[in-house]
Chain A
Amino acid sequence: MSGLKLGGVKLGRAALEAAALALFILFMAPLLLVLVNSAKTAFEVTQYPLAMPEEWGNIGRNMAMIWTSQNIRYPASLLSSFIITAVSLVLLNLLSSQAAWALVRTKTKTSSAIFFTFVAAMVIPFQIVMFPLLSWLRAVTLATGLPLLRTYQGMVLAYVGFGASLSIFMFHGFIKSIPLELEEAATIDGCRRHEIFYRIIFPILTPIHATVLVLNGIWIWNDYLLPLLVLGKGNAIQTIPLAVSNFAGAFVKQWDLILTAILMAMIPVIVFFLLAQKYIIRGMVAGSIK
């Protein structure tokens, strides 16, 4: 009897193993096909999209083509994406955490009202602000002389504004759980109000900083619509998603090159993910449940 049951369990386990492997292959197949077809000529891609490439060396040739193509301007786009993401992330983490701390530790009606406004704004979809945003930023530029459309500063300003709600909300939840005694002790030791944040609180926030970095980083790096509107098409500054979309539009059906461009757009994300997967998965899950 027990032997039979054991057999049943073993069989069940084997079926599970097989199902998991099959699903894994199914999930990875699209990405694998991108890699395989990046190493083909235009003719091979259209005739034999599922076959292994005749000459893997073609991948180098295709990648060199993308690297130097004036339509995608890959190196410049990579740099622009990197600048926009990095600067926005640094500012979002610093400015949102200090704002959240101020909101948690100041118990006034104004403070609660501001916090409530930030939280409520999370419901606002980008679609309702995107058209007025453009004419309004143009008006602000006219009034201040600071160019915001088609510039890095405009892009970063937009990400700080759009990312503030969720970031403040995440920091707010974490800071609430930090005991006040810590700050009181620092005050008695002669710490000034702002020093309490930068010296005592900021270093404690490391885990939540990581979560906020991951959530915002993935959003900003992959974002398409906001850069499309703020930076515009054909701008000297373009992000990787904009570059890929321009390229795919200009080289319709030239899948050997489009897929190579896609491969090169995915490489930075995948490398980063493999290096920091623990933090990324943890951060994304924490961000969803909050």
Chain B
Amino acid sequence: MKTKRENALVFWLFLAPVLVAFALVIVVPFALGIYYSFTNWSSSARADSVVRFIGLENYAKSFADPAFLHSFIVTVGYTAMNVVFINAVAFGLAMLVTSKIKLRKFYRVGFFLPNLIGGLILGYIWQFLFNNALPSLGNVIPFLSGLADPDAYMLSKSGTALVALVIVGTWQYAGYIMMIYIAAIENVPVELHEAAMIDGASPLQRLRAITLPMVAQAFTVTMFLTLVQSFKQFDVNVSLTSGGPSTLFQGRPILGTELLALNIYNTAFLSNKLSEGQARAVVFFVVLAVISLIQVAVNKKKELEL
């Protein structure tokens, strides 16, 4: 009986610190956040002042705002391109550095390196590349002279600026995803490849019949990882384009590459519409939660098949 009470005591004492921190920074703000999204909560309000319930007004206003709609579209486009590019590049790199080339270990480390530098800093580096280094390349190399034309600067138009975000996203993330593919590829038994080679299978046939099915599980992981990561992108967005350049959408001037996370931030802090920003954050959360539920369902299905 005494040990039982001691065990219960240790249980709560061991959990107490993380529970307190978790409650303070996640549970309470999360509950408050959902509540505030239905109120007229504003930045001048302190936590103890009166906030009034206004129903779905913040949500209605958000969906009536072209900037939010555009931001949604841009984020979906960015995410789709990012997922495809990152995974294609990462898989290609993984194939390359698991072949028998020299210096493959060295290359792996190099491809992985950008991932360790924060997105904010990467964005500044690439701002310099797109605005200074690439145009200069156009001045030096005659057949690239188009690059030197100020109209061709990638960050000057919202369409190409979005592609620029994808380029940086790929550069930042491909090496990390590559490492996951490498782990999967190296798990494929060598005997499978040897047997196929004896049977006269070409490298391409082996890729299709052995490597791809064997790394299918990794694909599920990397797809969702890149999907969620891209959907939440904020840091690179801030430092590379700050959401710009401006463009017209539904007859209103808006920021052309403002991804959702940045739109939420700007709605609250630039436009001073805190509760509306909060409502957008709730929408953002719901989309991410749905993605996660799909992921869990897919993984369950995959496990059953195995």
Report the bound CA distance from A136 to B274 in whole Å: 14
Contact partners of A279 in chain B: CB under 8 A:
none
Contact partners of B11 in chain A: CB under 8 A:
102, 106, 111
Residue of A nearest to B36 (CB): A132
| Contact status A33-B110, CB under 8 Å | no
Interface-located stretch among B59-67, B78-86, B115-123:
B115-123
A99 interface residue (CB < 8 Å to B): yes
Contact partners of B128 in chain A: CB under 8 A:
33-34, 37, 49, 255, 258-259
Query: What is the CB-to-nearest-CB distance from A171 to chain B, in angstroms, rounded to a whole number?
Result: 11
Choose one: A30, A270, A281; the contact of B179 (CB below 8 Å).
A281
Given A164-B22, A262-B125, A273-B113, the answer on whether A98 and B14 have CB atoms closer than 8 Å is yes
B281 interface residue (CB < 8 Å to A): yes
Report the bound CA distance from A205 to B179 in whole Å: 24
A/B pair count, beta carbons within 8 Å: 247
| Contact status A123-B292, CB under 8 Å | yes
| Contact status B284-A140, CB under 8 Å | no
| Contact status B285-A192, CB under 8 Å | no
Interface-located stretch among B95-103, B150-158, B207-215, B244-252:
B95-103
Contact partners of B126 in chain A: CB under 8 A:
30
| Interface residues on chain B, number (Cβ under 8 Å) | 91
Docked complex: B212-244 residues within 8 A CB-CB of A: 221-222, 225, 232, 234-235, 238-239
Contact partners of B104 in chain A: CB under 8 A:
20
B278 interface residue (CB < 8 Å to A): yes
Query: What is the CB-to-nearest-CB distance from B208 to chain A, in angstroms, rounded to a whole number?
Result: 18
A224 interface residue (CB < 8 Å to B): yes
Contact flags A224-248 to B (C-beta < 8 A → 1, else 0) = 1100000000000000010011001
| Contact status A248-B124, CB under 8 Å | yes
| Contact status A133-B281, CB under 8 Å | no
Residue of A nearest to B23 (CB): A161
Choose one: B29, B111, B265; the contact of A132 (CB below 8 Å).
B29
Contact partners of B23 in chain A: CB under 8 A:
161
Docked complex: B1-46 residues within 8 A CB-CB of A: 3, 6-7, 10-11, 13-15, 17-19, 21-30, 32-34, 36, 45-46
Contact partners of A19 in chain B: CB under 8 A:
96
| Contact status B25-A48, CB under 8 Å | no
Given A157-B21, A225-B234, A225-B235, the answer on whether A102 and B125 have CB atoms closer than 8 Å is no
Docked complex: B137-167 residues within 8 A CB-CB of A: 137, 140
| Contact status A20-B124, CB under 8 Å | no
| Contact status B19-A114, CB under 8 Å | yes
Query: What is the CB-to-nearest-CB distance from B32 to chain A, in angstroms, rounded to a whole number?
Result: 4
Query: What is the CB-to-nearest-CB distance from B43 to chain A, in angstroms, rounded to a whole number?
Result: 9
Choose one: B3, B26, B278; the contact of A193 (CB below 8 Å).
B3
Contact partners of A46 in chain B: CB under 8 A:
132
Given A27-B111, A49-B133, the answer on whether A103 and B15 have CB atoms closer than 8 Å is yes
Choose one: B28, B46, B285; the contact of A127 (CB below 8 Å).
B285
A221 interface residue (CB < 8 Å to B): yes
Report the bound CA distance from A20 to B93 in whole Å: 8
Given A20-B104, A102-B11, the answer on whether A161 and B292 have CB atoms closer than 8 Å is no
Known: A96-B18, A127-B281, A285-B180. 4 other contacts (CB 8 A): A30-B126, A99-B18, A136-B24, A193-B10
Could you write out 24 A-B pairs with CB less than 8 Å apart? A17-B102, A20-B103, A20-B104, A23-B96, A24-B111, A27-B114, A30-B114, A95-B17, A95-B18, A101-B14, A106-B7, A114-B19, A129-B25, A132-B28, A135-B47, A139-B47, A161-B25, A193-B7, A222-B120, A224-B118, A241-B235, A269-B117, A273-B113, A273-B116
